[in-house]
Amino acid sequence: MKLVRVSAMWCPACLIMRSRLDKIALNIESVEYDYDLDEEVVSKYNVGDILPVFILFDGEKEVGRLIGEKNEDELKEFLKGCIE
């Protein structure tokens, strides 16, 4: 499994979600892209205008997507199976 995170420096919800994610011990690879600075890479994920976006991959296949600010329980439920 791999988690792709798309956020932006100017996005308050992204900062909140980063903090929530940092509290969770993940046992998967995670990579973060900036919506503005990594525009070419981000465009291939079709993230739209609402940030942050968390995309879970199993190999090359997308298996889940979480968009926008969520509470800690919603984040854990999305990442179920990826938490140590």
Residue 12 DSSP one-character state: H
Please count the CA atoms within 13 angstroms of the CA of 69 that sit on its side-chain side.
Answer: 9
pTM: 0.90
Q: Please tell me the distance from the alpha carbon of residue 69 to that of residue 51, in angstroms, as a whole number.
A: 8
Expressed as residue numbers, the domain containing 10 is 2-78
What's the total number of domains in the chain? 1
65 vs 24 pLDDT, higher one: 65
CATH number, domain with residue 31: 3.40.30.10
Tokens matching residue 58? 């199993």
In this prediction, residue 84 carries a pLDDT of: 55
pLDDT in tens, 8-53: 999 999 999 999 998 887 888 999 999 999 999 999 999 999 999 9
Please count the CA atoms within 13 angstroms of the CA of 63 that sit on its side-chain side.
Answer: 13
Whether 62 is covered by a domain: the verdict is: yes
The pLDDT of 63-77, averaged and rounded, is 94
